[in-house]
Amino acid sequence: MEDRKFTKEHEWVEKVDQIIIIGITEFAQDQLGDIVSIELPKVGSSFKQNEAMAIIDSVKASSDIYSPVDGEITETNEKLLEQPELINQSPNEEGWILKMKPNNPEQLDSLLSKEQYNNLVGQSKE
Amino acid sequence: MNYIPHTKEDISKMLSVVGCSTVDELVSEFKPRLSELNLNNPMSEMELVAYMTSLSEKNSQMKCFVGGGSYDHYIPSVINHLVSRGEFLTSYTPYQPEASQGILQVLYEFQSYICLLTGMDVSNASLYDGASALAEAALLSSAYTKRRGIFVDAGLNPEYLKVLQTYCDGTDLVISNTIDENTACVISQNPNFNGEIKNPTGLIEKTHLNNSLFINCISDPTSLAIIKPPGEFGADIVVGEGQSFGIPKSFGGPYLGFMAVKQFLTKKLPGRIVGITTDGKGNEGFVLTLQAREQFIRRERATSNITTNQTLLALTATIYLASLGKTGLQNVARASYHNAHLLQEKLRKKGIDIVNTNPFYNEFLVKTPKSTEKIIANLAEHNIFGGIDVGDNKLLVCCTEKNSLQDIDLYVKEASI
Amino acid sequence: MKLIFEYNQANTKHTPEEKDVDVPKELKRENLLLPDVNEVQIIRHYTELSKKNYGIDTNLYPLGSCTMKYNPRVNEDIAKLAGFSNIHPLTPVNQAQGALEVIWELQEDLKKITGMDAFSLQPAAGSQSELLGIMIAKKYFAEKNENRTKIIIPDSAHGTNPATAAMCKFQTVTIPTDKRGNMDLDEFKKEIGSDVAVVMITNPNTLGLYEENLSEIKNLAKENGALMYCDGANMNAFLGISKPADQGFDMIHLNLHKTFSTPHGGGGPGGGSLGVKTFLEDYLPVPRIKKENNEFVFDCNQEKSVGKLHSFYGNFGILVRALAYVRSWGTDIQKISKMAVLNANYLFSLLKEDFDVPYDRRCAHEFVISAKNLGEKSTINIAKRITDYGFHAPTIYFPLIVKEALMIEPTETESKETLDAYANILKIIIKELKEEPELLKNAPHTTPGRLDEVKAARQLNLRWAPQE
């Protein structure tokens, strides 16, 4: 299993064979506060890199989830529809949001490494 | 007439705290300063009442036999006294729920009444009016299905169709006359504009087979006391006009739009929604909820920009439904139905052509042998507002519980067919 | 907390009893599960609920940009006159001249106040007015064959602005606010171009500050052929002092339930309106009102009209109230704004030392302060504690660009005593924040106390349902 990659929009991306799994980071869920619902895209729909594909709602805020690469949705975490709080409780594991098949896996190389992402978060904490 | 409590002394003290010598200085940023304002001289309360009363007296109050989206139902006295209470009238949207439990509970009761009447699962806390509620339902359907076609069944109130068309033009939706893979929703008014009650089962089946949403539109919801509710027929969305529930005709507004949906569309409902929750000690209370749907949070990702609703009218409708209760609402609906059928029968006996062959509620269409305009004019001379001229020598007539037997006989006599 | 559905009593006969109807069985309703409640209980039930509700009649209600001014009772009586409330909207116009005259006269007064050439009073609220304005802009540019896809909005704008733009399929371009509280002119210059349809400005903006660069913004917009739209929610700051048309706007919407005193009613009904310059007049919704030989008529013959937004003519009952309000003030109307601005600046001066001031400038009719230096979540806690003192919190956490924001608009109908009392309460609460923070964290000490909004959204209970 390869190391996870990250985006500037606070998403983590994990590559497993031909598929990538996407979720939001610990930092992101903390910023959002208590999550009350999520709007998931339809399986089979396609998105370009940086296009908004899902929406997470907390009590007082609403945030887009952006596609890290060009690709097609293969699976979504339907559990989140009934239990959105899983994203707060376990953003890195049970709170995974969706799976995609990237059109051009090389796009993943342009994402942030764990170190680069931690720097980004460190900066915004100042 | 002056609602500004400041004395000269107050103003002077306040200016010195602010650090300005004149009030004029405080507003000097607003440029260009206008040189002349051509309004009337200020009026005292007495003068104002005289002026506005004289305007009101230029409007004729006639015995009403007209519907078409605004209905002359009896308004129980109790409503006005409760709705005028300052704590309701002068309150704001309940963003601080602990200070607004009264209004929040009323809206929760309103939402519940709408669900009970329509047979649906969830309702919002009201929209502007029936026409815009229908437009919002079309927007909802488009967002949900990701399609842009809107199919409208024949028999929709023509003014509602115009509003729907305007919203569609502005938001890039298309009203089409086929149900196909582009169709987001199928819209049907029941009872329709001509007053006819239809069984929507076949159309609903066709809609669902097409993976579209079925929207039922209701113009006079007192009909729901005696007609099977759209939720039981399988509608996905029900919208309509709540003016019949204790709201004065008031030359067209303010009225009361409502929208109720099946469970699966809950998070797509536009407008405000009230829910029950608890405080830290387990006491139950009411709050506005699912607010992240709304424009002030979603901003450019909101499906609708709607902010203000029609709370005071929702309060009015709630008190109306409570006052009438099951028995009272049934009586209102039955009387409306009986009176309309009685008038239609009497007109038929006098030689007028009946157009409705289907069952109808409180509105019916007749074909007049003479010009419709003339009949309306004859009736107006006897202080009767006799119907809506819908063209082709056809007249749309309405009755409610308020039309007495004498009124009906006078109508038949003076229509001069 | 008893719901109306939990009663089971003898019905009060408001209308006579009736026999059942013979609707075909497949269409007939079988169960109507509404309660019957006696009138005595109705009065008690809703009177009890009214006591659990705070309104302008209770005490100061200083919500920023809502203009919670006193709602004149005489306007309520006037709107209830049978000659207004009992008239069917389809009454032939020759028998509804008084109603058309109300709409006409209000339109004329609003034209005079704003300097706009034509008005529509059909929109039911501010957001519907915005929708109308953007639809008009869309049609206007479509007819000129100009492909304009963008709408420019400051980041301080009310959520309805970008939401309306998105509804009409425009792209929102957000301009940041500069250090002085104005829309950043340099950033604006980068974005303005011939692909911009509308520049939507609130003036004074939601920070309560006059847009100092308005003139330049207007010139740049005009140079690039973009329309200037004024979100008139803050008109209470300059009624009868300056005209939006003279400031360079092509369109303005006014909220009748804000500036023009019609009651908020717990969240509605409102009253919208859209004023436009002559070149946009033909796009206004139908029916228009025309005056022919001293008689008023409806004119539906407007080819270029965007169509219709309301089943009839708008919130007529609200228009009656607004007309009464404007007529009662007449040429004295600028007293409203002058006192509104004085009250805001006075309250602002009283509170400056206790809070963080994001923009230290003279304010208009409202101001924004911040509790960010008082600790995390201090704003929500202060807001909840205000309830314990018999007042209402201001708008909080808006505008979004100020952390821990409190947006305060007293309006002109508040006395100096009330403002002094409010400032005093806030100072007491800040002292409590430092010395007895638990008092705030557990506020308000009402029943129910602070309600769990997360639970409300996660465990949805949105209606009463009968037990099976």
Confidence band of C441 (pLDDT split at 50, 70, 90): very high
| Yes or no, beta carbons of C47 and B254 under 8 Å apart | no
Which DSSP helix (H) or strand (E) runs through C189? helix C185-191
CATH fourth-level superfamily of C334-454: Aspartate Aminotransferase, domain 1 (3.90.1150.10)
| Yes or no, beta carbons of A59 and C397 under 8 Å apart | no
> Which residues, in sequence order, are bridge partners of residue C407?
C368, C395
So what's the ipTM on this one? Answer: 0.96
> Which pLDDT belongs to residue B308?
76
C-chain CB neighbours of A36 within 8 Å are 454, 457-458
Share of chain A above pLDDT 70, in %: 95
> Which pLDDT belongs to residue A62?
80
Domain segments of chain B: what residues? 63-72+326-415, 77-317
Residues in chain B: 417
| Tens of pLDDT, residues B148-171 | 999 999 999 999 999 999 999 999
> Rounded mean pLDDT of chain C?
95
Rounded CA-CA distance C34/C49 in Å is: 20
Q: Indicate the CATH number of B63-72+326-415 among 3.90.1150.10, 3.40.50.1100, 3.40.605.10, 3.40.1380.10.
A: 3.90.1150.10
| Yes or no, beta carbons of C98 and B10 under 8 Å apart | no
Domain segments of chain A: what residues? 5-124
- Structurally, at CATH architecture level, domain B77-317 sits in 3-Layer(aba) Sandwich (3.40)
Interface test with B, best of C12, C31, C46, C243 (most B CBs within 10 A): C46
The residue whose two tokens read 């407007």 is C302
Give the three-class secondary structure for A92. Answer: coil
pTM beyond 0.90, yes or no: yes
C-chain CB neighbours of B333 within 8 Å are 21
> Which pLDDT belongs to residue B241?
98
> Which pLDDT belongs to residue B202?
97
From A59's Cα to the closest Cα of chain C, the distance in A is 6
Rounded CA-CA distance B165/B10 in Å is: 54
DSSP β-ladder status, A11-16 and A19-24: antiparallel
> Which pLDDT belongs to residue A32?
85
DSSP secondary structure string for all residues of B93-109: --SSGGGBHHHHHHHHH
Q: Is residue A97's pLDDT more than 70?
A: yes
Residue in chain A lying closest to B300 (CA):
A62
Average pLDDT for C398-419 = 95
Average pLDDT for C224-231 = 98
Average pLDDT for B133-152 = 95
Q: Is residue A113's pLDDT more than 70?
A: yes
Confidence band of B417 (pLDDT split at 50, 70, 90): low
> Which pLDDT belongs to residue B186?
98
Amino acid in the structure at residue B100: S
> Which pLDDT belongs to residue B291?
81
From A84's Cα to the closest Cα of chain C, the distance in A is 8
Q: Is residue C102's pLDDT more than 50?
A: yes
Interface test with A, best of B273, B298, B304 (most A CBs within 10 A): B298
Domain segments of chain C: what residues? 87-331, 334-454
| Yes or no, beta carbons of A85 and C457 under 8 Å apart | no
* C300 CB within 8 Å of a chain B CB: no
* CA max distance for chain A: 40
Per the structure block, which two tokens stand in for C386?
């205000």
Confidence band of A124 (pLDDT split at 50, 70, 90): low
Rounded CA-CA distance C296/C316 in Å is: 16
A-chain CB neighbours of B297 within 8 Å are 57, 60-62
Per the structure block, which two tokens stand in for B236?
């996905």
Residue in chain A lying closest to C454 (CA):
A59
> Which pLDDT belongs to residue B141?
96
Residue in chain A lying closest to C455 (CA):
A36
Amino acid in the structure at residue C76: E
Rounded CA-CA distance C322/B346 in Å is: 45
> Which pLDDT belongs to residue A125?
55
Rounded CA-CA distance C154/C186 in Å is: 13
* A125 CB within 8 Å of a chain C CB: no
| Tens of pLDDT, residues C277-332 | 999 999 999 999 999 999 999 999 999 999 999 999 999 999 999 999 999 999 99
Confidence band of B98 (pLDDT split at 50, 70, 90): very high
Provide the CATH topology of domain C87-331. Aspartate Aminotransferase; domain 2 (3.40.640)
Amino acid in the structure at residue C430: I
Residue in chain B lying closest to C16 (CA):
B331
CA distances from B219 to A45, B133, B153, B243, B391 (A): 39, 11, 15, 9, 21
| Yes or no, beta carbons of A59 and B298 under 8 Å apart | no
Residue B158: exposure state from Cβ atoms within 10 A (0-12, 13-18, ≥19): exposed
Average pLDDT for B180-197 = 97
| Yes or no, beta carbons of B293 and A57 under 8 Å apart | yes
Share of chain C above pLDDT 90, in %: 95
The residue whose two tokens read 């001229």 is B389
| Tens of pLDDT, residues C245-279 | 999 999 999 999 999 999 999 988 999 999 999 99
DSSP β-ladder status, B257-261 and B363-367: unpaired
Q: Does domain A5-124 have CATH number 2.102.10.10?
A: no
> Which residues, in sequence order, are bridge partners of residue A13?
A5, A22
> Which pLDDT belongs to residue C432?
96
Least confident of B6-10, B225-229, B356-360: B356-360
Rounded CA-CA distance B51/C420 in Å is: 38
| Tens of pLDDT, residues B361-393 | 999 999 988 789 889 999 999 999 999 999 999
| Tens of pLDDT, residues B271-296 | 889 999 999 999 999 999 988 777 76
Per the structure block, which two tokens stand in for B196?
């006819």
Least confident of C112-121, C195-204, C367-376: C367-376
Q: Is residue A126's pLDDT more than 70?
A: no
- Minimum-distance CB partner of B338 among C18, C345, C346: C18
